[in-house]
Structure 1
């Protein structure tokens, strides 16, 4: 069965480069922009910004599941060494959790929008602050996996293949 799979390249991937960061940066931007639009809309009473926020949350929720799927695939192909394993496990757990949290917040936002599209309650703004904190922590973990542990970088992949990293 394995002979039907494409060979892995120097990044230990069956395609040219990682896809997870591309999709996840799209999600991060949409979530943070949604929170910013809601905050400005909340302070200025500009209801159009709440509409912009809703659509950003909606598409971010769809996109986060794609990001998590590619993240799972690429994490499995990374063959993480011992030093990176705990950070990767936490990043994976938080990624799956964030997909559920974002879906729940988006559902809540949909209900709020259906009831009264003119305003967003303070409790929802608090949830936005929590969501922003979780996103920033997740970004920190992802950055650590790439810039500290070098997952899917050519030198690290070569070191793992040669048995230099365990």
Structure 2
């Protein structure tokens, strides 16, 4: 009914030139990992200015992850999937949504820590930051697998799926 209002899909099966999700999500990855690094260095060097850097990185990562998820959902919906890719795509989606809540919760906790005392950070927060970093690395692995192994939104895979080869 409204198909005529939607832009045509290109050879990547997208309405825009290339995938946007990886661009935005790389900012989230960098900000979360850099925040953890700043917290660790700040903790051991007793340089509380790094805690402020960490706070702002987590704050911006919390906003950016929701933008990344929006584009991720759109691009996952437009991906010409095939049976082999489905389990990895579903797990990547579940972990992505989970990370949005986890990052928001950790940022909220970080805000409370920041309000109480900007000069110190509890060791337990660093432990949670380590777990978050591991989860982010696993999510990166899944995202890389979707592109580099399964070829989502790559021209050869899109052509193969449309041609009935996959």
Pairwise same-fold verdict (TM > 0.5): yes
Per-residue CA deviations over 1:3-23 (Å, capped at 9, x if unaligned) read: 110000000000000000000
Match of 2:157 in 1: 156
> Aligned equivalents of 1:47 and 1:100: distance in 2?
26
> Aligned equivalents of 1:80 and 1:91: distance in 2?
14
Q: Does 1:76 align with 2:72?
A: no
Per-residue CA deviations over 1:67-89 (Å, capped at 9, x if unaligned) read: 01100000010021100000000
> Aligned equivalents of 1:142 and 1:28: distance in 2?
12
Q: Does 1:105 align with 2:106?
A: yes
> Aligned equivalents of 1:96 and 1:123: distance in 2?
24
Deviation, 1:58, is: 0.2
Deviation, 1:114, is: 0.2
* Structure 2 gap ranges (5+): none
Report 1:107-146 matches (<5 A): 107-146=108-147
User: Structure 1-normalised TM-score?
Assistant: 0.99
* Structure 1 gap ranges (5+): none
> Aligned equivalents of 1:80 and 1:23: distance in 2?
22
> Aligned equivalents of 1:117 and 1:106: distance in 2?
14
Report 1:17-36 matches (<5 A): 17-36=18-37
Q: Which ranges of 4 or more aligned residues in structure 1 deviate by more than 3 Å? A: none
> Aligned equivalents of 1:107 and 1:142: distance in 2?
26
Match of 2:60 in 1: 59
Per-residue CA deviations over 1:82-105 (Å, capped at 9, x if unaligned) read: 000000000000000000000000
Match of 2:42 in 1: 41
Partner SS state of residue 119, structure 1: coil
User: Structure 2-normalised TM-score?
Assistant: 0.99
